[in-house]
């Protein structure tokens, strides 16, 4: 894959020097929000990583190349083209690469490319999971399979609250993926700080989380780690309000017969619409919070290595 993997020279130097690096996805640029808010948010996330002592490596596919560490021009290109850029997961990678197309990487695809580049800390908003209509749709996010086998620690605000959180946690447990709560016993629910479901372990410090990450992979236990970081309380939306909005959005999604990878963007867009933009503001703030935590963990991991 060396001919398809293109690592930014600054990231190459950082890798060689053993400096802390945080991988970042590109779906937030193309499918998360409109231009220019998308590019402003993406650049702000990179700055937060830098301000907390690590090096940001935003990942995407440009002209059939797996790009690790986008330039400012590449980020601008993705932001302007937005929805025209294909949303790419594991199954899509061979097609996008062979056809020399562009792609915005999901959690799963970002994990794959980060692992290729030897980057093992990744910050995102929320991971995918088991969908609420699993008995009818059999819809389980590819993110969960990737977490089961790819050695990347994912800092997130839990599972997106549009999903079935208890079943997602059961799936992760079955596949041996540890779920760490950062200073919480409760699995965050994306827009809200608590879902009512318990995490496996509550760890209070970045240094202790780094020790767990190091130990897991030293023992050759393949697979990722979920580090669940609750949204800051002042940005959290009331659980009752957001659940009502999600229920209405799910009904509309079924009426319009939206399925597959279109479901999450549709639901997030509808939720933003029905909350008057409050959910989008919360989404941005939780991503900022996760980027800061991921950078601190990456710094601690580098120090103990």
Catalytic residue among 46, 67, 87, 160: 160
Mean pLDDT of 236-247: 89
> What confidence score (pLDDT) does residue 297 get?
98
For residues 206 and 293, the answer to whether their CB atoms sit within 8 Å is yes
Q: How far is CA 294 from CA 65, 134, 297, in A?
A: 26, 31, 5
* 32 pLDDT tier (thresholds 50, 70, 90): confident
For 166-184, what is each residue's pLDDT tens digit? 999 999 999 999 999 999 9
> What confidence score (pLDDT) does residue 136 get?
79
Strand partners, 21: 55
**Strand blocks (E) in 10-150:** 21-24, 55-62, 65-68, 86-88, 103-105, 121-123
For 63-77, what is each residue's pLDDT tens digit? 999 999 999 999 999
The pTM of this model reads 0.94
Q: How far apart are CA 234 and CA 157, in angstroms?
A: 14
Q: Is the pLDDT of residue 102 over 80?
A: yes
What percent of the chain clears pLDDT 90, i.e. is strictly above it? 79
- Residues in the chain, how many? 305
> What confidence score (pLDDT) does residue 133 get?
81
Q: How far apart are CA 252 and CA 197, in angstroms?
A: 27
The answer to whether the bond into 162 is cis (omega within 30° of 0) is no
* Phi, psi of 125, deg, nearest 5: -85, -75
Q: How far apart are CA 299 and CA 24, in angstroms?
A: 16
For 75-94, what is each residue's pLDDT tens digit? 999 999 999 999 999 999 99
Which one has a higher pLDDT value, 117 or 253? 117
Q: Is the pLDDT of residue 99 over 90?
A: yes
Q: Is the pLDDT of residue 262 over 80?
A: no
Q: Nearest Cα to 66, choosing from 31, 112, 122, 27?
A: 112
> What confidence score (pLDDT) does residue 100 get?
97
Q: How far apart are CA 252 and CA 17, in angstroms?
A: 51
Rg (CA), the chain: 18
Average pLDDT, the chain: 94
Q: How far apart are CA 40 and CA 97, in angstroms?
A: 28
> What confidence score (pLDDT) does residue 16 get?
97
The tokens for 21 are 């690096």
Residue 25 annotated as catalytic: yes
For 198-213, what is each residue's pLDDT tens digit? 999 999 999 999 999 9
Q: Nearest Cα to 167, choosing from 193, 137, 194, 132?
A: 132
Q: CA angle, 124 as apex, 122 and 126 as ends, to 5°?
A: 130
Residue 211 annotated as catalytic: no
Domain that holds residue 171: 5-304
> What confidence score (pLDDT) does residue 253 get?
85
* 165 pLDDT tier (thresholds 50, 70, 90): very high
**Which residue in the block uniquely carries the two structure tokens 């608590």?**
194
For residues 121 and 298, the answer to whether their CB atoms sit within 8 Å is yes
> What confidence score (pLDDT) does residue 1 get?
56
The total number of structural domains in the chain stands at: 1
- CATH code of the domain in which 145 resides: 3.40.1790.10
> What confidence score (pLDDT) does residue 6 get?
98
């Amino acid at each position: 894959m060396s001919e398809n993997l293109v690592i930014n020279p600054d990231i190459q130097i950082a890798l060689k020097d053993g400096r802390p690096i945080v991988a970042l996805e590109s779906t937030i640029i193309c499918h998360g929000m409109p231009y220019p808010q998308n590019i402003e948010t993406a650049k702000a996330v990179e700055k937060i990583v830098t301000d907390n002592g690590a090096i940001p490596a935003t990942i995407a596919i440009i002209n059939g190349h797996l790009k690790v560490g986008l330039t400012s021009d590449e980020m601008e290109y993705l932001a302007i083209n937005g929805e025209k850029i294909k949303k790419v997961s594991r199954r899509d990678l061979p097609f996008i690469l062979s056809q020399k197309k562009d792609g915005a990487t999901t959690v799963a695809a970002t994990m794959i490319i980060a692992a290729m580049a030897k980057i093992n800390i990744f910050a995102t908003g929320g991971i995918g999971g088991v969908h609420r209509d699993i008995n009818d749709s059999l819809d389980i996010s590819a993110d969960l399979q990737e977490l089961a086998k790819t050695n990347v620690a994912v800092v997130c605000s839990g599972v997106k609250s549009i999903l079935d959180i208890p079943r997602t946690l059961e799936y992760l447990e079955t596949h041996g993926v540890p779920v760490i709560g950062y200073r919480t016993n409760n699995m965050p629910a994306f827009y809200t700080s608590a879902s009512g479901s318990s995490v496996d372990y509550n760890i209070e410090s970045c240094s202790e989380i780094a020790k767990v990450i190091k130990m897991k992979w030293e023992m050759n236990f393949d697979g990722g780690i979920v580090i669940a970081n609750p949204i800051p309380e002042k940005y959290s939306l009331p659980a009752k309000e957001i659940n009502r909005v999600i229920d209405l959005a799910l009904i509309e999604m079924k009426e319009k017969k939206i399925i597959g990878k279109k479901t999450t963007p549709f639901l997030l867009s509808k939720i933003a619409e029905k909350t008057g933009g409050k959910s989008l503001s919360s989404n941005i703030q939780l991503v900022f919070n996760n980027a800061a935590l991921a950078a601190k963990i990456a710094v601690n991991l580098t120090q103990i290595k």
